[in-house]
């Protein structure tokens, strides 16, 4: 999905939010905003929004000299998510269709995002997630393929969300013991995206093999992937790609193995998918929308 004019304004606003996260004084914030404005003016539109973000975020963070500006917020998000996991696990276990419920739990965690146009409350999302309809719902088709698959690749998105992903993968392993699962993380800190550090700390290695994608973008790009990341993608029977960043990077590939699982949080993605901000999406290429 290539950049749109709205993405330029969104990226600029993200740089302002980043300056506040880093607690910049006026001089630091001004430098970040001026340099970001100059860089945004030179961005190519024939690239994905995550590719543009991977240019802007490190340059802005370097002004303050911070390698992982969202480290504290990632830790806070993880603590918030952890407090909700016991109740969510109980709901998934008690569900009539636990595999469907596990996917719902995983997408509920996708509201944890610090780079989007619109913010949603995690607690409110959890209260409604097991009843609310999806705007595009290919979960049944995905689960039918999952029951036949030997290898699933889950491409993670945000920190905090990864705890809901872990619960989903635990549920998959419980009901589908033949299934091998790999969990892909970003190659370095970018916004609040999940890296190998947070994945290991959460014990995801207990339910899946953790794969460092090698990418520096907030979304998976095959051409930037490490050999390990490329091999994990190419060898997977089925792929679950979490969040908008992965959708923005991967939707043009039209890979029938992929299901995109996300909550729409910006107008550009909403327009591309043909749905509304706030809608829940479980979409597989080549499957009729319903």
pLDDT tens digits, one per residue of 102-154: 999 999 988 876 655 555 678 888 888 999 999 999 999 999 999 999 999 99
Residue 250 shares a structural domain with residue 269: yes
pLDDT in tens, 202-247: 999 999 999 999 999 999 999 999 999 999 999 999 999 999 999 9
Q: Which of 64, 91, 107 is the last residue in one of the domains? A: 64
Whether 212 contacts 12, CB under 8 Å: no
Per the prediction, the chain carries an average pLDDT of: 94
Residue 176 shares a structural domain with residue 41: no
Is residue 245, in this structure, part of any structural domain at all? Answer: yes
- Domain of residue 243, CATH code: 3.40.50.10880
Residue 48 shares a structural domain with residue 164: no
Q: Which of 39, 64, 89 is the last residue in one of the domains? A: 64
Which structural domain range is residue 52 located in?
A: 5-64
Residue 86 shares a structural domain with residue 111: yes
Is residue 289, in this structure, part of any structural domain at all? Answer: no
pLDDT in tens, 260-270: 999 999 999 99
pLDDT, residue 46, reads 97
Is residue 40, in this structure, part of any structural domain at all? Answer: yes
Number of domains in the chain: 2
Residue 237 shares a structural domain with residue 197: yes
Q: Which of 64, 82, 98 is the last residue in one of the domains? A: 64
Residue 90 shares a structural domain with residue 222: yes
pLDDT in tens, 69-112: 999 999 999 999 999 999 999 999 999 999 999 999 999 988 87
pLDDT, residue 221, reads 97
Residue 190 shares a structural domain with residue 75: yes
Is residue 250, in this structure, part of any structural domain at all? Answer: yes
pLDDT, residue 113, reads 65
Residue 55 shares a structural domain with residue 78: no
């Amino acid at each position: 999905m290539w950049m749109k004019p709205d993405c330029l304004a969104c990226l600029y606003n993200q740089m302002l939010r980043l300056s506040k996260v880093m607690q910049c004084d006026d001089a630091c914030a001004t430098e970040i905003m001026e340099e970001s404005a100059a860089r945004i003016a030179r961005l190519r539109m024939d690239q994905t929004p995550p590719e543009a973000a991977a240019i802007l975020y490190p340059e802005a963070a370097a002004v303050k000299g911070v390698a992982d500006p969202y480290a504290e917020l990632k830790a806070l998000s993880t603590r918030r998510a952890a407090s909700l996991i016991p109740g969510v696990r109980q709901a998934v276990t008690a569900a009539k269709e636990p595999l469907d419920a596990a996917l719902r739990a995983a997408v509920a965690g996708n509201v944890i995002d610090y780079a989007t146009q619109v913010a949603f409350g995690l607690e409110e999302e959890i209260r409604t997630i097991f009843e609310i309809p999806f705007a595009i719902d290919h979960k049944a088709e995905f689960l039918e393929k999952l029951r036949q698959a030997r290898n699933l690749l889950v491409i993670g998105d945000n920190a905090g969300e990864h705890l809901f992903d872990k619960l989903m993968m635990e549920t998959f392993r419980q009901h589908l013991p033949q299934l091998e699962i790999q969990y892909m993380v970003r190659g370095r800190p970018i916004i609040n995206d999940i890296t190998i550090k947070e994945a290991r700390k959460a014990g995801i290695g207990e339910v899946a093999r953790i794969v460092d994608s090698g990418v520096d973008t907030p979304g998976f790009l095959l051409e930037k992937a490490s050999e390990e990341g490329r091999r994990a993608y190419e060898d997977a029977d089925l792929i679950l790609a979490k969040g908008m960043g992965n959708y923005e990077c991967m939707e043009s590939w039209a890979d029938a193995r992929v299901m995109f699982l996300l909550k729409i949080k910006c107008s550009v993605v909403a327009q591309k998918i043909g749905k509304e901000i706030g809608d829940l999406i479980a979409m597989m290429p080549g499957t009729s929308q319903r």
